Structure 1
């Protein structure tokens, strides 16, 4: 008597479907492997490497936690200029400011939805607090949070982050805020009262990259830079994606790398190498190509399916990394291979992306996500206010706007001053005099 396997309506055996469902239940968190490399010229590049960071505020740089259920991974590059104070301060304080902006007792899905707004609040609060130190330095920030298979990247400046999926597709997860490369930012800076131009010597033709004045910074967004106009804002570009459980590789690097290597060129140098060796290779090739003209820093992070769920014969030692990042789109996996490895089709899903510099747009989250945040806490610094004390982020919106200014979010008076200054409506910094161009 011949026995046929029971199948569902799609023709796939139920035993295979049940196995896939079991695999999906098991693949909760990926393995995170990482490495960094640096060649220093000015000593102004700093990194943050936290493979296990507790979600609760106060964890900070010492927030390692042995439990995996309530932890995230955090990786960041801070490329300072005009000194290292801003980079060091941001490295020590940004993560706590971000986590403090996320309401407690959220589900995993709610936490993911709240993170983009919390990143904006954390960046602005860090910049606002650093201004009180009266230090003149500034820093770029590329800040990566990995929560399971979800990767969220917040960035100001020109330290870039790219993702290569398991099948070889490259995704850009950060923005480039160099004025030379971002026409929209040039328009925003000039509309806010800044001037954009190249260095002009004795009335001749402008030389060097586009810079904004006063200050001479060639970036439109950063943390710090107290001597530059408020139109240099700390509001980050945020992009959030979800990887399949096939995984992917992140390359995070300062401009010392990207000024020397093209994106695909950098990825090609990492083929067949584990994370730490890949980071060292990228830095070595960048310095070899252009010389050590600037601090040159790279972090490589591999987001991998857990060892027990990897395809057979794919990961003998380092071989799994070689196979994982060498597979091209044409090398399709068979159904049998996918079943054995419990891997999903390699798809990177975009969850969220926003780059506006307007706080009214960045802090406003529609219901139900917005309902997670405390209505009468300042949306930036989390100051608890009495009803009626807060100032709506939409308070100065045009009368024809459909936004309800009584519905929040609200800012405290100090953060409202910061918001209006960033929008070119007033000056909150103590010094607006022109200074010598910063070497950035």
Structure 2
């Protein structure tokens, strides 16, 4: 039986409160999703994807979810347009059918990895040289899953006032881990050399000169720029929260705190253009400046922003989430447990063997005779385990799945610095 302790006194929760809780949980089982977007265009290379109330069959019923994507292209818009049109289908095709809702949510991180890599692989076959950052958000009930490559970002402000960073910044200038990865794989990281020893601009990956370490596309840059996304999955408290998804045109001008503070009290439809306006006023229109605001709200609340009771709490990228007391309640506060934003999954590795490995006891997470990335059928015995050639003996067995087809195995080796450039680099060191 539920209970609460007040000092030394042990007190049972009244039946009326338990019934209110049960009624409350039924009412707020699924949140209301309200969104707004805005863009000031300079190059015309920013694109967005907004799909609310997507449906999928679950047993005898239907489950709904929402998808929000931001694609900031460079060297042209082809990669951004292609990714916008194909990424969602590639992610969904990597999820086995007939999963219940909990299994589907648990399968999302690995499916997002497979979908990003397949989209990159398919786009590179078109021999286009453009690339794109991607911040891709799937909201299913109170669970938010974010996959990202590049420097567009997604920030969450919870109803309790905490700020959570749900995406990684893959700029070489700021991400030391990615600099180490590229150098250890045989690539070079440095600034543009203007001659005479003078170096200018941000850190870039050479060959190619891209200042990002991860993207989709960029086939002319080399294998060091990978499409494997950072993925973070969290479960919101039933108070909900606000997501702010922006391209670097916003984040180069405003911090997360400033962006969120500037739009307090505004509905999502007004908050997005306001953030864009603030960014352009702060730094001028130097780049495409795009913002998507998504409010995840209990059904009883009107579609406005999260409460104005903001606390000065900043939760960094890999820090543990802290529990907070609910600021508002439909029933007596003294009988409520603390609301939390719960971290369900976080992974930033660029290695497919780590990203596609399953930690969940799900049946048929990956189809045995399908490539885990491109979903083509492979004959028994022809598939290559994602653990093939792992440097740590005994960690995994090479006959354990998931499996890749031959072309995806080549792509995996190239992404992990084991391709031609990596081997040449290793040979030159000996």
Structure 2 length-normalised TM = 0.88
The residue number in structure 2 matching 1:327 is 309
**Does residue 183 of structure 1 match 2:176?**
yes
Q: Is the 8 A contact 2:72 2:134 kept in 1?
A: yes
For structure 1, which segment, 276-285 or 12-21, has the greater mean C-alpha deviation from structure 2 after superposition?
Answer: 12-21
Mapped to 1, the partners of 2:157 and 2:311 lie a distance apart of 12
Of residues 164, 170, 185 in structure 2, which corresponds to 1:171?
164
* Contact 2:96-2:364 within 8 A present in 1 as well: no
Establish whether residue 207 from structure 1 lines up as the match of residue 200 from structure 2.
Answer: yes
2:71 matches 1:89 = no
Question: What is the match of residue 281 of structure 2?
Answer: 288
Alignment-derived partner of residue 438 in structure 1: none
What per-residue deviation string (whole Å, max 9, x for no partner) do you get for residues 247-277 of structure 1? 0000000000000011100001111100011
Offset of 1:427 from its aligned partner?
4.4
Q: What is the aligned partner in structure 2 of residue 436 from structure 1? A: none
1:159-207 CA-partner distances (Å, limit 9, x unpaired):
0000000021100000000001100000101111211000011123211
Matched ranges for 1:402-413 at <5 A: 402-413=395-406
Residue 47 of structure 1 pairs with residue 78 of structure 2:
no
Q: For the residues of structure 2 that align with 1:102 and 1:339, how far apart are their CA atoms?
A: 41
Distance 1:343 1:149, change over 3 A: farther
Deviation larger for 12-21 or 41-50: 12-21
Specify whether residues 367 and 237 from structure 1 end up closer, same or farther in structure 2 by C-alpha distance, changes over 3 A only: closer
What CA deviation, in whole Å up to 9, does each residue of 1:266-292 have, x standing for no partner? Answer: 001111100011001100010011100
Measure the CA separation in 1 of the matches of 2:378 and 2:328.
57
| Partners of 2:130 and 2:336 in 1: CA distance | 46
Alignment of 1:270-289 (within 5 A): 270-289=263-282
Structure 1 residue 220: deviation in Å? 0.1
Counterpart CA distance in 2 for 1:228 and 1:334 is 49
Match of 1:352 in 2: 345
1:13 corresponds in structure 2 to: 14
Is residue 147 of structure 1 aligned with residue 140 of structure 2? yes
2:38–2:272 contact (8 Å) kept in structure 1: yes
Q: Among residues 268, 289, 296, which one is paired with 2:261 in the alignment?
A: 268
For 2:205 and 2:56, the matched residues in 1 are separated by 38
Aligned 8 A contact 1:246 1:343 in 2: no
Is 1:156 paired with 2:149? yes
Is the Cα–Cα contact under 8 Å of residues 230 and 427 in structure 1 kept in the other structure?
Answer: no
Change beyond 3 A, Cα 1:334–1:55: closer
Change (3 A) 1:276 1:427: farther
Count of paired positions: 401
Larger relative strand fraction: 2
Could you tell me which runs of 5 or more consecutive residues in structure 1 were left unpaired when the two chains were aligned. 1-5, 57-66, 429-440
The Cα of 1:423 is off from its aligned counterpart by 1.5
Distance 1:41 1:186 in 2: 30
| Rounded Cα–Cα distance in structure 2 between residues aligned with 1:12 and 1:360 | 48
- Does structure 2 conserve the Cα–Cα contact (< 8 Å) formed by 1:164 and 1:171? yes
**How do 1:94-109 and structure 2 match up within 5 A?**
94-109=87-102
Partner secondary structure for residue 54 of structure 2: strand
Change (3 A) 1:218 1:396: same
Residue range with higher mean Cα deviation, 268-277 or 418-427: 418-427
1:256–1:297 CA contact under 8 A, matched in 2: yes
Which residues of structure 2 form unaligned runs of 5+?
5-9, 313-323, 422-430
RMSD between superposed Cα atoms in Å: 2.4
1:23 aligns to 2:12 (yes or no): no
SS in 1 for 2:71: strand
Q: CA deviation at 1:337?
A: 4.3
Aligned to 2:386: 393
Q: Structure 1 residue 11: deviation in Å? A: 2.6
User: What is the CA distance between 1:328 and its match in structure 2?
Assistant: 3.4
* In structure 2, C-alpha distance between the alignment counterparts of 1:393 and 1:85, rounded to whole Å: 30
In structure 1, the partner of 2:426 is none
State how far apart, in whole Å, the 1-side matches of 2:14 and 2:131 are.
59
SS in 2 for 1:283: helix
- Measured in 2, the distance between the counterparts of 1:48 and 1:277 equals 18
| Corresponding residue to 2:234 among 234, 238, 241 | 241
Tell me the SS of whatever aligns to 2:106: helix
Q: In the alignment, which of 361, 366, 376 is matched to residue 354 of structure 2?
A: 361
Give CA-to-partner distance per residue, 1:77-117, whole Å, 9 cap, x none.
Answer: 00000000000000000000000000000011100111000
Give the equivalent residue in structure 2 for 1:59: none
- CA distance in structure 2 between the aligned counterparts of 1:68 and 1:265, rounded to whole angstroms: 42
Q: Tell me the TM-score normalised to structure 1 length.
A: 0.86
Partner of 2:114: 121
The alignment partner of 2:244 has SS state of strand
Aligned partners of 2:160 and 2:326 also within 8 Å: no
Identify the residue that residue 320 of structure 2 maps to in structure 1: none
Work out whether residues 56 and 62 of structure 2, in 8 Å CA contact, stay in contact via their aligned partners in 1: no
